Amino acid sequence: MSDVRVVLVDDQHLVRTGLRALLERAADITVVGEAEDGRAAVAVTRDQRPDVVLMDVRMPGGDGIEATRRIRTDPTLADVRVVMLTTFDDDEYLFEAIRAGASGFLLKDTPPDALRDAVRVVAGGDALLSPAVTRRVIAAAARSPVEDPTRLAGLTGRERDVLAQVGTGRSNVEIGAALHLSPDTVRTYVSRLLHKLNARDRAQLVVIAYESGLVRPGDN
């Protein structure tokens, strides 16, 4: 796999400097650009075409959610993944960020090795949603629910079962154990769900599971 190219977006210079230092300790990760607000983030991303953008949620001069939406709706940036940099008091923004196209979240105090691993995971096409963060996303969504049960009309019963499990943040291994399926079979179901629901990644499946009413706050 070639080097992972990263753009850092945060209004605090010290935060960007610290993230750059941590990421570039890995030989396979290169920071190719920085931005201090949402508008600059879109411009740098269009110029550099990174694999991953680490985006602060709240910034002056254009917030991270709107910048994420602009990046993810630009057809020339279809391969760029956005991960939101968040703190524990940003819950109200989580669901909107996934709706905007974010592939997941990282806490700003994430340990260095976990930070580098997370960047690689997202660059490889996977979402970054732990069960704890997924529960927070669903709880945030509950404050302004938008349910559309017709969206799941084309799914089989088993596909709905798998989607419900994905919606609670479980891994393929955990889903397999719950539904008595092998992890490879679960992976096949997840791929089908992505195709049938025209979903970008696993993070968006969480949104769909909630908006369809299949998953509700408190489900686990």
- For the segment 31-66, what is each residue's pLDDT rounded down to a tens digit? 999 999 999 999 999 999 999 999 998 887 668 999
Residue 110 has a pLDDT of: 84
Per-residue pLDDT tens digits for 10-30? 999 999 999 999 999 999 999
Percent of the chain that is helix, strand, coil (3-state, to 5): 50, 15, 35
Residue 128, pLDDT above cutoff 80: no
As a whole number, mean pLDDT of residues 152-159 equals 94
Rounded CA-CA distance 63/77 in Å is: 19
Whether 34 contacts 44, CB under 8 Å: yes
More confident site: 108 or 115: 115
For the beta sheet containing 29-35, the strands, ordered from the edge strand earlier in sequence to the opposite edge, are: 29-35, 4-9, 52-56, 81-86, 104-107
pLDDT for residue 45: 97
Q: How far apart are CA 37 and CA 64, in angstroms?
A: 8
Q: Mean pLDDT in the chain? A: 86
* Confidence (pTM): 0.76
Between residues 78 and 34, the one the model is more confident about? 34
pLDDT at 215 over 70: yes
